[in-house]
Structure 1
Amino acid sequence: VCQTVRDYLLQHSSYTAKRIKVAGKIVQVHNLKRSRRALWTSSAQMQKLLCLRAWYTHLGKHQSHFKKLKCRSDVCTFCHKYDKVFLPSLRTLLSQSESKMIAHQPDYWKAIQVYWNSLKLQGKTDPDDQCSLQYVRAAIKYMRRMLAARAALPVPDVAGALGARLDFHKDEADAMAALAKANVILECCEHHFSGVKRQHGFREDKVDNLEHHCVDIQLDFMENMTTPLGPEEAQDWFWATARQSITTLGFYAHYWLNGVEHHQYFHFISDILNHDSAFAVQAFGDLLLRLGLSDQRTVLHVFADCGPHFRSYEFLWCLVEVCKSKFPTVFLHFLLEHHGKGRNDGQFGLQRRWAVDYARDHVISDVSDMKGALEAGAMMTMSLDPPPAGPSYHIVVFTPAAKPKFVDKLDNSKTDLQIEYTYCLRIQRHPVPMYVAVIKDFVYSDRSTDEQKGVSIGNVVMKRQPAKEESWRVSYRKTEPEKDNLNVGVLQRRLDHQKHAKLANLAARADPEIVKLARDQRREAKRKAKYL
Structure 2
Amino acid sequence: MQKLMKRSTWYVHLKKHHPEFVKMKCRTDVCAFCHKYDKVFLPSLRILVGQSESRVQALQPDYFDACQQQWDKMKLAGKTDPDDKLSLQYVRAAIKYMERMLAARAATILPDHAGALEHRGALHAEEASAIADLNKARSTLEVCEHHFSGVQRQSGFREGMIDKLDVSHVDIQLDFMENMSTPLGPEESQEWFWATARESITTLGFYAHYWKDGKEVHHYYHYISKIMNHDSAFSITAFNDLLGRLGLTSSHKVLHVWADCGPHFRSYEFVWNLVEVCRSRFPQVYLHFYLEHHGKGRNDGQFGLQRNWVVDYAREHVISTLENMTDALRCGAAETMRLDPPPAGPSYSIVPFQPAKPQVIKKLNNSRTKLMIEYTYCIRFDRHRNPQFGIEIKDFVYSDRIVDERNGVPIGDVVCEDIKPKEADWRLSYRKTTPEKEPLNVQLLQRRLAHQAHAKLVKVVSRCSPAVVLIAREEKRAAKRKAKFQRTQAVLAIDLEETDSGSSSDESAIE
Check if 1:274 corresponds to 2:229.
yes
Give the match's secondary structure for 1:332: strand
Gaps of 5+ in 1: 1-18, 26-68, 520-532
Give the match's secondary structure for 2:8: strand
Which residue number corresponds to residue 498 of structure 1? 452
Task: Provide the C-alpha distance between the structure 1 equivalents of 2:296 and 2:424, rounded to a whole number of angstroms.
Answer: 21
Q: CA deviation at 1:354?
A: 0.5
CA contact (8 A) 1:71 1:478 kept: no
Q: How does 1:255-274 map to 2 (within 5 A)?
A: 255-274=210-229
Task: Provide the C-alpha distance between the structure 1 equivalents of 2:273 and 2:199, rounded to a whole number of angstroms.
Answer: 30
CA contact (8 A) 2:10 2:194 kept: no
CA contact (8 A) 2:25 2:430 kept: no
Check if 1:458 corresponds to 2:412.
yes
Which residue number corresponds to residue 173 of structure 2? 218
Task: Provide the C-alpha distance between the structure 1 equivalents of 2:225 and 2:194, rounded to a whole number of angstroms.
Answer: 23
Which residue number corresponds to residue 21 of structure 1? 8
When you count strand as a share of all residues, which structure comes out higher?
1
Which residue number corresponds to residue 12 of structure 1? none
Task: Provide the C-alpha distance between the structure 2 equivalents of 1:156 and 1:499, rounded to a whole number of angstroms.
Answer: 47
User: What code does the residue aligned with 2:373 have?
Assistant: I
Check if 1:351 corresponds to 2:351.
no
Check if 1:251 corresponds to 2:206.
yes
CA contact (8 A) 1:247 1:272 kept: yes
Q: CA deviation at 1:431?
A: 2.8
User: What code does the residue aligned with 1:421 have?
Assistant: Y
CA contact (8 A) 1:307 1:472 kept: no
Q: CA deviation at 1:441?
A: 1.0
Relative to 1, partners in 2 of residues 1:424 and 1:88: Cα closer, same or farther, differing over 3 Å? same
Deviations 1:38-83 (A, max 9, x none): xxxxxxxxxxxxxxxxxxxxxxxxxxxxxxx964211000110010
Deviations 1:3-53 (A, max 9, x none): xxxxxxxxxxxxxxxx7437999xxxxxxxxxxxxxxxxxxxxxxxxxxxx
Which residue number corresponds to residue 188 of structure 1? 143
Give the match's secondary structure for 2:207: strand
Aligned length: 457
Check if 1:200 corresponds to 2:200.
no
Which residue number corresponds to residue 493 of structure 2? none
Give the match's secondary structure for 2:27: strand
Check if 1:126 corresponds to 2:126.
no
Which residue number corresponds to residue 361 of structure 2? 407
Q: How does 1:63-462 map to 2 (within 5 A)?
A: 71-156=26-111, 158=113, 160-232=115-187, 234-240=188-194, 242-404=197-359, 406-462=360-416
CA contact (8 A) 2:45 2:137 kept: yes
Q: CA deviation at 1:135?
A: 0.6
Which residue number corresponds to residue 483 of structure 2? none
CA contact (8 A) 1:306 1:335 kept: yes
Task: Provide the C-alpha distance between the structure 2 equivalents of 1:167 and 1:24, rounded to a whole number of angstroms.
Answer: 64
Q: CA deviation at 1:475?
A: 5.0
**TM-score, normalised relative to structure 1:** 0.81
Task: Provide the C-alpha distance between the structure 2 equivalents of 1:197 and 1:314, rounded to a whole number of angstroms.
Answer: 28
Query: RMSD over aligned Cα, in angstroms?
Result: 2.6
User: What code does the residue aligned with 1:288 have?
Assistant: L
Task: Provide the C-alpha distance between the structure 1 equivalents of 2:247 and 2:447, rounded to a whole number of angstroms.
Answer: 42
Identity %: 63
Task: Provide the C-alpha distance between the structure 2 equivalents of 1:476 and 1:95, rounded to a whole number of angstroms.
Answer: 36
User: What code does the residue aligned with 2:72 have?
Assistant: N
Q: CA deviation at 1:466?
A: 3.5
Which residue number corresponds to residue 484 of structure 1? 438
**TM-score, normalised relative to structure 2:** 0.84
Which residue number corresponds to residue 35 of structure 1? none
2:461 to 504, 507, 526: 507
Relative to 1, partners in 2 of residues 1:287 and 1:479: Cα closer, same or farther, differing over 3 Å? farther
Task: Provide the C-alpha distance between the structure 2 equivalents of 1:470 and 1:328, rounded to a whole number of angstroms.
Answer: 34
Task: Provide the C-alpha distance between the structure 1 equivalents of 2:35 and 2:288, rounded to a whole number of angstroms.
Answer: 24
User: What code does the residue aligned with 2:405 have?
Assistant: E
Deviations 1:302-361 (A, max 9, x none): 000010000011000000000000001001010111111210001000000111111111
Relative to 1, partners in 2 of residues 1:417 and 1:239: Cα closer, same or farther, differing over 3 Å? same
Deviations 1:375-424 (A, max 9, x none): 111111111112222111111111122143x4211111111111111111
Q: CA deviation at 1:166?
A: 2.7
Task: Provide the C-alpha distance between the structure 1 equivalents of 2:353 and 2:152, rounded to a whole number of angstroms.
Answer: 35
User: What code does the residue aligned with 2:219 have?
Assistant: Q
Task: Provide the C-alpha distance between the structure 2 equivalents of 1:82 and 1:470, rounded to a whole number of angstroms.
Answer: 35
CA contact (8 A) 2:25 2:431 kept: no
Gaps of 5+ in 2: 1-5, 13-23, 475-511
Deviations 1:438-489 (A, max 9, x none): 1111111111121121111111111223434686858566996511221111
Task: Provide the C-alpha distance between the structure 2 equivalents of 1:23 and 1:351, rounded to a whole number of angstroms.
Answer: 29
Give the match's secondary structure for 1:165: helix
